[in-house]
Structure formats: structure tokens, C-alpha cells
Amino acid sequence: MNNFIKGAIYAVLSSIGYGIMPIFTVKAYEYGVTVYTLLFLRFGLSSIIFFLFFLVKGTNIRIGKHEVKNLFILGGILFTLLSIFHFESLKYISSSMAVLLLYCFPLLVCIISYFLYKEKLSIGSILALVATFISMIYLLGVSLDKMNVYGIVLSLLAALIFAIYMIVGKRVTINNSPVIISAYTALFATFGVFIIGVVKQDISLNFNNQAWIHIISIVIFSTIFAEITFFKSLELLSSSNVSMISMVEPVFTTLFALVFLNERLQFSQLTGGMFVLISLVVLVYSQNKSIKKPAINRTLIQNEHI
């Protein structure tokens, strides 16, 4: 199994972790948890678990000043703003529209990566990306009625921040392990969310105790597990490839909503979900094939000199 396939598996596992988060979030809101309270507990508890693990294992968690700066940008600024913009957009537009607009980020990643790192995509990958986005419209059942400009702007800002977050995350994985990156990202995000939450007076522990089940689930599955596998995928793949494979996340969210929230699945959504998966299979095959070709050519050249 080559690194591309391994990276794709990690990206899909990360998408599963992130994909189930909306289910836990909806349940937590039902028990009186506010947006900033949930975000603060998510990042804060994740940080505690990470660093307790390092303490028990005797892991060296020292990082250089340059890495501290990058991780602060990653967690304290980008991850914080991404979470806030996305959750705030849900107040003004439907969740399906918010998710669809958020998943403009793979296109933004590809554009930014092309100009910064000259990362190129094959024709097959570009077609798969377009097909995936169109399929998501049917999967999410997006309605164009009652469009709110402010909500759309917030969601597009979240997509832009997500794209930058992924590109910065790729740079950080060069010198650090995915677990260390995840820990510091969660730590800095904790401070970022806490400061804004206090200013907005939106942090409170006055909620039903049953909400803790869903909060802990978000911490374990949708933060610790999802973040580690996400940065592991960035360690093996380009940011463009990870961003496109991550578009499978809404498929998992839809399936989890069907199972745990008893939401009805329309035929158009089922068809859209199938085409998303087919398009992503084409993407993985196309990118894997484009990566293998240079490797084969290098091997042939080397053999000619023997």
C-alpha cells in the first residue's frame, strides 16, 4: 500500500470523525449547551486529554519558536475563526446550505496551492471535483429559497479560513508529529474561543448533565480522533488531495443523521450521495495514477544507468 492510499484512508477516517459531530452537536444543543460553551469544552477537554497522555507516556512536547507561531496561527486564529464563522452562519441559513458553501474550500485550496506550491491537478481530478460538488447539492437537498446574504458571507469566510487552515497545517506537519500538532492546535483554539466567548458572554456550564455524553463524544471522536487522522493525512498527501477527499464528510453526516436523528432520506439525496462516492473513487484513482507515473519514470531512468 503506497502513501497515497494510506493518506486517503486517513482522510476518510477523519471525515467520519468530523461527519458525526453535527449529530452530537444537535443533541448537546437540545440540553441547553450554547455555541461557545460547546466549542470551549470541546477544545479545552481535548487539550487536557492530549497533554495528560503526553505526561503519562513521557513524550517530549517541546517545539521551536517558529512552530509555536505556526501552531498559534493554526489553532488560536484559524481553527477558532473557522468554528465561529461556520456555527454563526447556521443562525441565518440552512445547515445544508452552510455545509455546501463550506465545501467550496477544496477549490480554494487547489487555487491557493497552485500559486504557492505549483500543485497541479489532472483533468480527471478536476472533473471529479466538479462532479462531487454538483452531487453534494442533491445529497444535502439544498434549497435556494430564503437566501440570507450575511449567512452566505459568513459561510464563505469559513470556507476561505478552512482552505488556509489546511495549507498552514500541511506546512506544520513537516517538522512535527500529527499528535503534537493536534494537541497544540486544540490548546490554542481553547484560548481563542474562551476570549471571544467571554466577550460575547456566551460561556456557561448551566446545562442539563445529560449533555456531557454528547460533549465527551465530540471530544473523543470529532476532535482527538478526527484531528490526528486529519494531520496524518496531510503528512502523507498534498493539501489539495486531502481537501478533495474530505468532501466525503457530508455523506457520513447524512448517514449518521438518518440513523441517529431519524431524518428521512429522499431519493435525490441517495442518488447525490452515490455520485459523491463515485466521484471521489475516480479522484483517488486519478491522483494515485498521476503519482505513480513519475515514480515509474524515475525507476526506468535509474535502470538505464545500471
Q: Which helix (H) or strand (E) holds 122?
A: none
Letter for the amino acid at 173?
T
| First vs last C-alpha separation in the chain | 27
pLDDT in tens, 246-266: 888 888 888 888 888 776 767
Q: What is the CA radius of gyration of the chain?
A: 20
More confident residue, 237 or 273: 237
**Residue among 183, 157, 161 nearest 172 (CA):** 183
Q: Average pLDDT for residues 50-58, to the nearest whole number?
A: 94
Specify the pLDDT at position 180. 92
> Where are the domains positioned within the chain?
1-290
Q: Is the pTM of this model over 0.75?
A: yes
The amino acid at 107? L
Q: What is the pLDDT of residue 58?
A: 92
Q: How confident is the model at residue 230 (pLDDT cuts 50, 70, 90)?
A: very high
Contact by Cβ (8 Å): 196, 43:
no
Q: How far apart, in whole angstroms, are the C-alpha atoms of residue 157 and residue 137?
A: 19
Q: What span, in angstroms and rounded, lies between the C-alpha atoms of 158 and 179?
A: 24
**Residue 243 and residue 159: Cα distance in Å, rounded?**
11
Q: Which of 299, 303, 294, 296 is nearest to 122 (CA)?
A: 294
CA distance 197 to 148: 24
61 or 211, higher pLDDT: 211
Top pLDDT among 41 and 64 is at 41
**What cell was used for 72?**
498559534
Determine contact, residues 182/14, Cβ cutoff 8 Å: no
Residue (of 123, 226, 125, 117) closest to 167 by Cα position: 117
Mean pLDDT of the chain: 83
Q: For residue 86, what pLDDT is reported?
A: 85
What CA–CA distance (Å, rounded) separates 133 from 262?
A: 25
* Side chain identity at residue 233, one-letter code: S
**DSSP state letter for 288:** H
| Cβ proximity of 148 and 89 under 8 Å | no
Short-list 44, 27, 24, 25, CA closest to 35: 25
Three-state secondary structure of 194-242: HHHHHHCCCCCCCCCCCHHHHHHHHHHHHHHHHHHHHHHHHHHCCHHHH
Provide the pLDDT for residue 305: 42
pLDDT band at 146 (very low <50, low <70, confident <90, very high): low
Q: Between these two residues, 97 and 247, which has the higher pLDDT value? A: 247
pLDDT, position 114? 78
More confident residue, 49 or 87: 49
Which residue matches cell numbers 480522533?
225
> What does the pLDDT average to over 267-288?
74
For the chain, give me the number of helices (H) and strands (E)?
15, 0
pLDDT value for 279? 76
Average pLDDT of 64-86?
89
DSSP helix/strand/coil, 101: helix
